[in-house]
Structures are given as structure tokens and as C-alpha cells.
Chains A and B, each alone.
Chain A
Amino acid sequence: MREYKLVFTGTTGAGKTTAIAAISEAAPIRTDVANTDTTIDKASTTVGLDFGQISLANGDRLRLFGTPGQVRFDFMWKILVRDAFGIIILIDNSRPDPLADLNLYINGFEQELLTTPCVIGVGRTEAHSHPSLDDFSIALEKQNLILPIIPVDVRNADDVNMLIGILMAQTEAEMI
């Protein structure tokens, strides 16, 4: 049995904790505390990490880690991404500037993205169609990156599994 580490990161409120809870086989470990930041419309926020696990059909296991979203916790990003086989960046398209949000995490994980497969999941696209997925692609191209960009509802386990499946496929493609 092999174990893989997967990291969910991205905007505060984009659903990192929700995504892990949607697919984890056991109750996820959470470090949510009361949010005192009035610029963010959330009752609680992750300040340490989220953790969950799932088993794959072949017996391998995925260990799922979620980072805090806020930049002030970027030291946790560096801790959690060590030895990760993949990174999922979740973006909330209802926020004022989702492309700037994406850039924040692309820059925050700049070194890791040189060697680690990554998928971008964009949430709330049905109610907030701008920027479009093409706009995200163009923004990535400007950074010399070509990454899958997928609209997702992370409350839906199928959507989260789809993100992971794309990430795994990317990994396998790179191994060929």
C-alpha cells in the first residue's frame, strides 16, 4: 500500500475544509476557530490545518491536508506542502478579484509548482461567471503555467473526487 499526500489550498471561504469533509472516510481533523476578521463573512476560519483520509480502489491511501487561506498563515503553507504529490488550489469566484487571489497562491507555491502537479478548482461560477475559466487560463499563461481549471462545487463529493482524479491523471501522465 502506498500513501500519497495531497494539499488543498486557496482563498478563505473557497471550501478547503468543506472539500476535505466531503470525501474523508473518517471525521476530518479541523483547527477552525472563531473568525474576528470583519472583512471576511465567515463565522469560523482554519488557522492550523485540516486533515482527512481516503482509500483508493487499489488499496493506496490519500492523506488530505488543507491549509489556512490567509497570507498571514503562509508559514503553514510551506509546512503542509512538503512532500505533497499534488496541490489543489480552490478559488471563490464571488470574491472581488479572483484572478488576484489565484496569483497569490501561484506565487505562494511558486517553487512547489515547478515540480508538483496542480489543479485549479473555481467555485461559485454559476452565480458569478466572471472571470471566465478562459480568463484564469490566460492569467496562468502569463506566469508560464498550463494547469487544469475546473468549475467545482466542493460540497459535492463527486466534484472533489473529480479534482483528485485529474490530479492523479496528471501525475501518471508525467510518469510516462
Chain B
Amino acid sequence: MSIPDYIANAAKDECNNLLSEQNGILAVVIASIDGFDVASSVSKMLDPSRIAAMASSIAAIGSVVTQEVSLGSSKSVTVNTEDGFVYITYLELAGVNYVLNVVADKTAILAQVIYRCGEIGKRLKNN
């Protein structure tokens, strides 16, 4: 499934901006729900394609858990670690759901990342 170039470029810009503007962000990856990266910005030696596949698995498992316990649609999954966190949420590109995945070290602030991801989702949906 392809998305228009201008939307893919806007998604790439959003990934770059979040990585460069927010402290502690190691990777920002937008992936199709079946695990292909469509836009990304990473620091260090992180592989966006691996992150994309893992994000789609985690998002899908999160969804099936919330369905099982009748808590409605999953909106996000956060994995907190000793040295940081991974935040996974959904966004829409050209009317199709994608997964937005942020990997951050402990200098990043989760609440700020959640807020920024929400803003990115709004902007890309209206693109």
C-alpha cells in the first residue's frame, strides 16, 4: 500500500522534528500496522525496519488484550524500562491506520512525548 509522496514527506519531517527537538529521543518510526516502516528518524545504530515490525506486534497484542477484557480500542502502549521507554500509538495517514513508535532514553519525559505524538497525529491526519 503506497501513500502519496507529500504525506510520506510530511511524516518523515515529523519524525525528524521530534527526534531533533525533544531530549532523549533515540528513534521515531511510523509503520504500517503489518510492520513495514514508512517514515523514520533514528539515532544510534537502531534499525527502523526491526522497530517497525516490533511496534506492529506490540500494538496488535495491546489491541487483542483490550478486546479480551472489553476495554474498547487500544490507543497506546508504553513499555517502561530501567533506561528509558518505548511509546507506541496509532495515527492516520490518508485515511489508513499506522503505528507511531518512539524509543527514548531516561532523559526524555514521557508526558511530553505523548503530547507531541498526539499533535503529530492531528497534523498528519489533516494533511
- Over the window 1-32 of chain B, the binary record of Cβ atoms lying under 8 Å from chain A Cβ atoms (1 yes, 0 no) is 10000000000000000000000000000001
A47 pairs with B35, CB closer than 8 A: yes
How many residue pairs bridge A and B at CB < 8 Å? 53
B61 pairs with A31, CB closer than 8 A: yes
Interface of B is mostly: helix
Smallest Cβ-Cβ distance to A74: which chain B residue: B53
B35 pairs with A72, CB closer than 8 A: yes
A31 pairs with B35, CB closer than 8 A: no
**Count of residues in B whose CB is under 8 Å from the partner chain:** 19
| A32-46 with Cβ < 8 A to chain B | 33-38, 45
Smallest Cβ-Cβ distance to A46: which chain B residue: B60
Whole-angstrom distance from the CB of A117 to the nearest CB of chain B? Answer: 26
Chain B residues positioned under 8 Å from A76 (CB to CB): 57
Whole-angstrom distance from the CB of A79 to the nearest CB of chain B? Answer: 9
B64 pairs with A29, CB closer than 8 A: yes
Interface of A is mostly: loop
B56 pairs with A47, CB closer than 8 A: yes
A33 pairs with B54, CB closer than 8 A: no
Using a CB–CB distance below 8 Å, which chain B residues touch chain A? 1, 32-36, 49-50, 52-54, 56-58, 60-61, 63-64, 68
**5 sample A-B contacts, Cβ–Cβ < 8 Å, listed by A number:** A31-B61, A33-B60, A36-B32, A38-B1, A70-B53
Using a CB–CB distance below 8 Å, which chain A residues touch chain B? 29-31, 33-38, 45, 47-49, 68, 70, 72-73, 75-76
